[in-house]
């Protein structure tokens, strides 16, 4: 099956031989190592070997059900590969048909009481409330389930489908009754709903099945669950229905059969949380029926054999006579023990009485359990194949299927109501007269939602509107609930349903709104008109300029630069009269690192220089119409030669100055501005001249006003002369 077992076995053997102490900690180590090996084998798909390892680990100590997670995954993979037929694939989970916009992506029922998750997808409250999904069906994001009802969407659906509101009410009443353990009331109410409303029949039946199970009316419970898992139920809640069926079997004590149905449920929905936990638990019980007694047996065995021998015995799985004896004792007559029952207790509802659950099951099942419980006596090979047999599809599944198909005939009448359901579903259209663009208005900009996002508190805004609010305070602008967490994630995923509804039902309004948005964006991305100006510090071409952005106006500015795709803004120093000076340098954003509270560290590098033509303001920050500034090119070859000589002299002088700088300053400069740029072959290659001039200008300890005057020069020669003067002056002062 795989190359791994042999190698792994040798490794473990070596480990055992090396150890010579009999302490508990050592045993814990063995336990952990073997479990790790089991997981490794399971991930390699070596199911039998993995199960052998788990049973070995169990001799060293108890194994928690959740520690079997990887093994369960492996079992599930094997199980799924054997499953064939129309209801095998989980492929149905991802598809979205045209008229499913009002359906919950999980249960495929009406999107009643919609809740929008952080990923932007919306589910019915029931699915999230009952934790019927652990990951988003559409994008795989882990579901936290702390979000509140989507207020805009709830209001819309109430208005558009008033009939549905009544149904929703009855169904949540059922849930309420179930959680209050009023099972008789659930049965009565559910029966009424089933008769009156084909649309919510499936959900009502599932609730009734749950109630019947609690009332120990297993046959009725099974009938309801099986009805809902029929293929023609449009796959609505099929995983939940299968889970329900498995739960009934489990409660009936038919653990073998329930294990298969739980796996079947996982085949329909890999991420059905409760099903997986049940499989882990059942497997744990099957493999390790009575931990205390086996542990006792182990203790004695440990005394009787040397580590080497003990290990050998384990590896070959030939228990010593003493061990065997203990195991037989350990596994006899424990089926009816209290502990066992406690372990088999439902994970869902602990209050259920299950005292009878093991007595009522059929004799064949009891036989099966005995077989499983005595498993530790068997050789690993036998045990593995036994478990495989238990997990194989062919064994018991047909009987379940048969029962379902025979029921099909009996319940032929129900088929018409299902057809009606299909019809209604496809007919769920919104009539023109209830369509009102005002229902889609953003409370912040009073316009149609553009890229609507929904906060965990259930309020919806345009993405950019919400972001602007969060620049100032991390609270919902409507209900003031803290959005710190939401802000820290910075995802702002668009609420898909609302976005689709707007595009579909308000296409004209949406087109207009999009045009406005694009116009605004175009305006913002002009690189000579209304260019955003950051008034802060001197910036130079090619020189890096890291910025800490915390002021709300600059947060908005940086975000806009990123959103429009220009990734540029102008940098100028302050001017007391004009607001900012006449010359500046464009900064190109290389990366933005957002801090959880919305502040950011922006890494930029200098681009083109510019001269300010006119000044303006936009949403709190300065803007300017600008013209770019370029060096006047020297064409005369004699002049070029002299310019090159001047450059070489300044470069050499600068290098000496930098090398003679005190280590502290030297390192500070390296850290902030990087090393001195290389000597350039063609000093007129760019309209900004050689990079080392800008680097020097940035690092030399001179007044910003003086720096500014050098920045604004369009003659390389003049610039070099200025820098030469500064360097000569600095070198004349010995203290620097
Ligand atoms: Zn749902
Ligand atoms: Zn999602
Ligand atoms: Zn808005
Ligand atoms: Zn809110």
Give the distance (Å) from ligand 1 centre to CA of residue 103: 8
**Residues with Cβ–ion distance below 5 A, ligand 2:** 119, 121, 136, 138-139, 141
Give the distance (Å) from ligand 4 centre to CA of residue 126: 21
Give the distance (Å) from ligand 3 centre to CA of residue 451: 9
Give the distance (Å) from ligand 1 centre to CA of residue 108: 6
Nearest ligand, CA 444: 3
**Residues with Cβ–ion distance below 5 A, ligand 1:** 104, 106-107, 124, 127
Q: Phi/psi of residue 453, each to 5°?
A: -120, 145
Give the distance (Å) from ligand 1 centre to CA of residue 712: 64
Nearest ligand, CA 469: 3
Nearest ligand, CA 123: 1
554 and 508 assigned to the same domain? no
Give the distance (Å) from ligand 4 centre to CA of residue 510: 24
Task: Kindly state whether residue 131 falls inside one of the protein's structural domains.
Answer: no
Give the distance (Å) from ligand 3 centre to CA of residue 106: 30
Pairing label, strands 568-572, 531-535: parallel
CA 634 – CA 320 distance, rounded (Å): 97
For 623, the enclosing helix (H) or strand (E) is: strand 621-629
Q: Which residues pair with 448 in a beta bridge?
A: 441
pLDDT digits (tens, 9 = 90+) for 285-337: 777 665 544 444 444 434 433 333 333 333 333 444 444 444 433 333 333 33
621 and 531 assigned to the same domain? yes
Give the pLDDT score at 480: 94
Give the distance (Å) from ligand 1 centre to CA of residue 100: 12
Give the distance (Å) from ligand 3 centre to CA of residue 160: 23
Task: Kindly state whether residue 262 falls inside one of the protein's structural domains.
Answer: no
485 and 555 assigned to the same domain? no
Indicate which CATH number applies to the domain containing 624: 2.30.130.40
Nearest to 165 by CA among 225, 113, 241: 113
Give the distance (Å) from ligand 4 centre to CA of residue 115: 13
> pLDDT grade, residue 275 (50/70/90)?
confident
Highest mean pLDDT among 341-345, 435-439, 582-586: 582-586
Task: Kindly state whether residue 234 falls inside one of the protein's structural domains.
Answer: no
Give the distance (Å) from ligand 2 centre to CA of residue 264: 24
Predicted confidence (pLDDT) at residue 556 exceeds the cutoff of 90:
yes
Nearest ligand, CA 126: 1
Nearest ligand, CA 520: 3
Nearest to 383 by CA among 369, 395, 371: 371
Highest mean pLDDT among 78-87, 427-436, 554-563: 554-563
Range of the domain at 58: 26-80
Measured in whole angstroms, how far is the alpha carbon of residue 388 from the centre of its chain? Answer: 34
Give the distance (Å) from ligand 3 centre to CA of residue 444: 5
Which tops the pLDDT comparison, 442 or 376?
442
Other C-beta atoms closer than 10 Å to the C-beta of 493 total 18
Predicted confidence (pLDDT) at residue 151 exceeds the cutoff of 90:
yes
Of 506, 521, 536, which residue is a domain's last?
A: 521
Predicted confidence (pLDDT) at residue 350 exceeds the cutoff of 50:
no
Give the pLDDT score at 172: 87
Nearest ligand, CA 491: 2
597 and 545 assigned to the same domain? yes
Predicted confidence (pLDDT) at residue 478 exceeds the cutoff of 90:
yes
Nearest ligand, CA 448: 3
Give the distance (Å) from ligand 2 centre to CA of residue 453: 13
Give the distance (Å) from ligand 2 centre to CA of residue 273: 17
Give the distance (Å) from ligand 3 centre to CA of residue 488: 21
Could you identify the residue written with the tokens 């009331």?
185
Give the distance (Å) from ligand 1 centre to CA of residue 278: 22
Nearest ligand, CA 236: 1
* Tokens of residue 48, six digits: 């039998």
Give the pLDDT score at 387: 54
Q: What's the rounded mean pLDDT across residues 476-487? A: 94
Nearest ligand, CA 481: 4
Task: Kindly state whether residue 446 falls inside one of the protein's structural domains.
Answer: yes
Give the pLDDT score at 100: 76
Nearest ligand, CA 237: 1
Q: What percent of the chain has pLDDT over 70?
A: 74
CA 116 – CA 104 distance, rounded (Å): 11
Nearest ligand, CA 462: 3
Q: What's the rounded mean pLDDT across residues 244-258? A: 88
Nearest ligand, CA 447: 3
pLDDT digits (tens, 9 = 90+) for 360-407: 333 333 333 333 333 333 444 444 455 554 554 433 343 343 344 444
Nearest to 715 by CA among 688, 691, 685, 696: 688
CA 715 – CA 166 distance, rounded (Å): 79
Give the distance (Å) from ligand 4 centre to CA of residue 466: 11
Task: Kindly state whether residue 678 falls inside one of the protein's structural domains.
Answer: yes
Task: Kindly state whether residue 557 falls inside one of the protein's structural domains.
Answer: yes
596 and 687 assigned to the same domain? no
CA 330 – CA 320 distance, rounded (Å): 15
Contact 649, 688 (CB under 8 A): no
Nearest ligand, CA 482: 4
Nearest ligand, CA 461: 3
Contact 472, 443 (CB under 8 A): no
Nearest to 69 by CA among 241, 226, 281: 281
Per the structure, the count of domains in the chain is 4
Give the distance (Å) from ligand 3 centre to CA of residue 468: 10
**Residues with Cβ–ion distance below 5 A, ligand 4:** 457, 459, 476, 478-479
Task: Return mean pLDDT, the chain.
Answer: 78
Could you identify the residue written with the tokens 């008109």?
529
> pLDDT grade, residue 620 (50/70/90)?
very high
Q: Phi/psi of residue 571, each to 5°?
A: -120, 125
495 and 572 assigned to the same domain? no
User: CA–CA distance from 504 to each of 315, 390, 429, 565, 632 (Å)?
Assistant: 65, 51, 11, 28, 56
Nearest ligand, CA 477: 4
CB within 8 Å of 638: residues ≥ 6 apart: none
Give the distance (Å) from ligand 4 centre to CA of residue 438: 19
531 and 467 assigned to the same domain? no
Could you identify the residue written with the tokens 């009891």?
366
Q: Which residues pair with 585 in a beta bridge?
A: 571, 609
Q: Is 286 helix (H, G, I), strand (E, B) or coil?
A: helix
Nearest ligand, CA 133: 1
Give the distance (Å) from ligand 2 centre to CA of residue 142: 8
540 and 618 assigned to the same domain? yes
Of 608, 629, 650, which residue is a domain's last?
A: 629
pLDDT digits (tens, 9 = 90+) for 697-728: 999 999 999 999 999 999 999 999 999 999 99
506 and 483 assigned to the same domain? yes
Give the distance (Å) from ligand 3 centre to CA of residue 467: 10
Give the distance (Å) from ligand 1 centre to CA of residue 531: 48
Of 629, 661, 681, which residue is a domain's last?
A: 629
Nearest ligand, CA 450: 3
DSSP result, 149-188: B-HHHHHHHHHH-HHHHHHHHHHHHHHHHHHTT-HHHHHH
> pLDDT grade, residue 233 (50/70/90)?
low
Nearest ligand, CA 168: 1
Task: Kindly state whether residue 328 falls inside one of the protein's structural domains.
Answer: no
598 and 649 assigned to the same domain? no
CA 491 – CA 667 distance, rounded (Å): 38
> pLDDT grade, residue 236 (50/70/90)?
low
User: CA–CA distance from 502 to each of 180, 507, 538 (Å)?
Assistant: 40, 7, 46
Q: What's the rounded mean pLDDT across residues 668-677? A: 92
Could you identify the residue written with the tokens 């050689």?
690
pLDDT digits (tens, 9 = 90+) for 516-544: 999 988 989 899 999 999 999 999 999 99
* Tokens of residue 508, six digits: 């004209």
Lowest mean pLDDT among 29-38, 219-228, 315-324, 498-507: 315-324
**Residues with Cβ–ion distance below 5 A, ligand 3:** 442, 444-445, 462, 465
641 and 622 assigned to the same domain? no
Lowest mean pLDDT among 14-28, 503-517, 541-555: 14-28
Give the pLDDT score at 678: 93
Nearest ligand, CA 139: 2
Q: Is 397 helix (H, G, I), strand (E, B) or coil?
A: helix
Q: What's the rounded mean pLDDT across residues 670-694? A: 93
Q: Is the CA virtual torsion 67, 68, 74, 80 positive or negative?
A: negative
Query: What are the helix (H) ranges across 490-526?
Result: 496-505, 507-524
Nearest ligand, CA 113: 1
Angle at 148 between CA 146 and CA 153, to 5 degrees: 140
Contact 149, 113 (CB under 8 A): yes
Task: Kindly state whether residue 503 falls inside one of the protein's structural domains.
Answer: yes
Give the distance (Å) from ligand 1 centre to CA of residue 507: 28
617 and 653 assigned to the same domain? no
Give the distance (Å) from ligand 2 centre to CA of residue 167: 26
Q: Which residues pair with 571 in a beta bridge?
A: 534, 585
């Amino acid at each position: 099956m795989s190359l791994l077992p042999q190698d792994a076995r040798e490794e473990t053997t070596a480990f055992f031989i090396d150890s010579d102490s009999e302490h508990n900690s050592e045993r814990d180590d063995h336990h952990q190592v073997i479990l790790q090996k089991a997981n490794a084998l399971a991930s390699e798909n070596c199911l039998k070997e993995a199960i052998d390892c788990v049973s070995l680990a169990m001799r060293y100590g108890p194994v928690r059900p959740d520690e079997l997670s990887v093994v369960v995954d492996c079992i599930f993979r094997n199980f799924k590969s054997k499953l064939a037929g129309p209801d095998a694939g989980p492929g149905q989970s991802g598809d979205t048909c045209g008229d499913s916009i009002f359906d919950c992506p999980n249960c495929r029922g009406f999107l009643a009481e919609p809740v929008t998750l952080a990923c932007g997808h919306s589910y019915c409250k029931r699915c999230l409330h009952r934790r019927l999904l652990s990951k988003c069906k559409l994008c795989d994001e882990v579901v936290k389930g702390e979000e509140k009802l989507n207020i805009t969407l709830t209001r819309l659906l109430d208005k558009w489908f008033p009939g549905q509101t009544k149904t929703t009410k009855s169904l949540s009443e059922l849930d309420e009754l179930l959680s209050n353990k009023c099972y008789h009331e659930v049965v009565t109410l559910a029966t009424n709903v089933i008769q009156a409303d084909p649309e919510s029949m499936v959900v009502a039946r599932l609730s009734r099945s749950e109630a019947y199970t609690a009332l120990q009316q297993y046959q009725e419970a099974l009938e309801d669950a099986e009805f809902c898992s029929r293929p023609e139920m449009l796959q609505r809640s099929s995983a939940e229905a299968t889970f329900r069926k498995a739960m009934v079997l489990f409660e009936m004590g038919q653990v073998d059969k329930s294990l298969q149905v739980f796996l079947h449920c996982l085949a329909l929905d890999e991420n059905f949380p409760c099903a997986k936990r049940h499989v882990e638990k059942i497997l744990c019980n099957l493999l390790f029926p009575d931990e205390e007694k086996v542990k006792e047996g182990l203790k004695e065995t440990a005394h009787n054999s040397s580590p080497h021998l003990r290990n050998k015995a384990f590896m070959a799985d030939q228990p010593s006579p003493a061990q065997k004896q203990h195991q037989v004792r350990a596994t006899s007559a424990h089926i009816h023990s209290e502990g066992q029952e406690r372990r088999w207790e439902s994970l869902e509802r602990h209050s259920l009485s299950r005292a009878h659950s093991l007595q009522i099951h059929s004799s064949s099942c009891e036989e099966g359990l005995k077989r499983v419980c005595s498993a530790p006596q068997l050789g690993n090979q036998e045990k593995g194949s036994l478990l495989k047999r238990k997990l194989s599809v062919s064994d018991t599944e047909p009987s379940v299927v048969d029962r379902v198909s025979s029921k099909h005939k009996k319940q032929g009448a129900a088929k018409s109501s299902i057809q009606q359901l299909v019809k209604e579903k496809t007919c769920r259209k919104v009539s023109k007269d209830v369509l009102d663009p005002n229902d889609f208005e953003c409370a912040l900009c009073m316009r149609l939602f553009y890229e609507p996002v929904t906060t965990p508190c259930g309020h919806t805004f345009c993405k950019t509107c919400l972001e602007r609010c969060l620049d100032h305070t991390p609270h919902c602008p409507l209900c003031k609930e803290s959005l710190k967490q939401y802000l820290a994630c910075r995802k702002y995923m668009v609420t898909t349903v609302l976005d689709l509804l707007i595009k579909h039902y308000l296409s004209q309004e949406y087109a207009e709104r999009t045009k406005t948005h694009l116009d605004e964006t175009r305006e913002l991305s002009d690189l000579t008109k209304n260019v955003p100006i950051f008034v802060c510090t001197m910036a130079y071409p090619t020189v890096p300029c890291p910025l800490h952005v915390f002021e709300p106006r600059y947060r908005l500015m940086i975000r806009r630069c990123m959103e429009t795709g220009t990734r540029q803004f102008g940098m100028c120093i302050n001017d007391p009269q004009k607001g900012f000076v006449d010359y500046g340098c464009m900064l190109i954003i290389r990366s933005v690192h957002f801090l959880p509270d919305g502040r950011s560290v922006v890494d930029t590098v200098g681009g083109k220089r510019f001269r300010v033509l006119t000044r303006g303001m936009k949403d709190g920050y300065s803007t300017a119409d600008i013209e770019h500034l370029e060096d006047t090119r020297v064409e005369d070859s004699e002049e070029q030669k002299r310019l090159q000589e001047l450059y070489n002299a300044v470069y050499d002088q600068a290098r000496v100055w930098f090398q003679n700088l005190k280590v502290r300053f030297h390192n500070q400069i390296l850290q902030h501005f990087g090393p001195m740029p290389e000597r350039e072959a063609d000093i007129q290659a760019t309209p900004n001249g050689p990079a080392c001039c800008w680097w020097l200008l940035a690092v030399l300890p001179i007044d910003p006003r003086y720096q500014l005057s050098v920045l604004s020069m369009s003659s390389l020669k003049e610039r070099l002369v200025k820098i030469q003067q500064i360097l000569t002056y600095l070198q004349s002062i010995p203290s620097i």
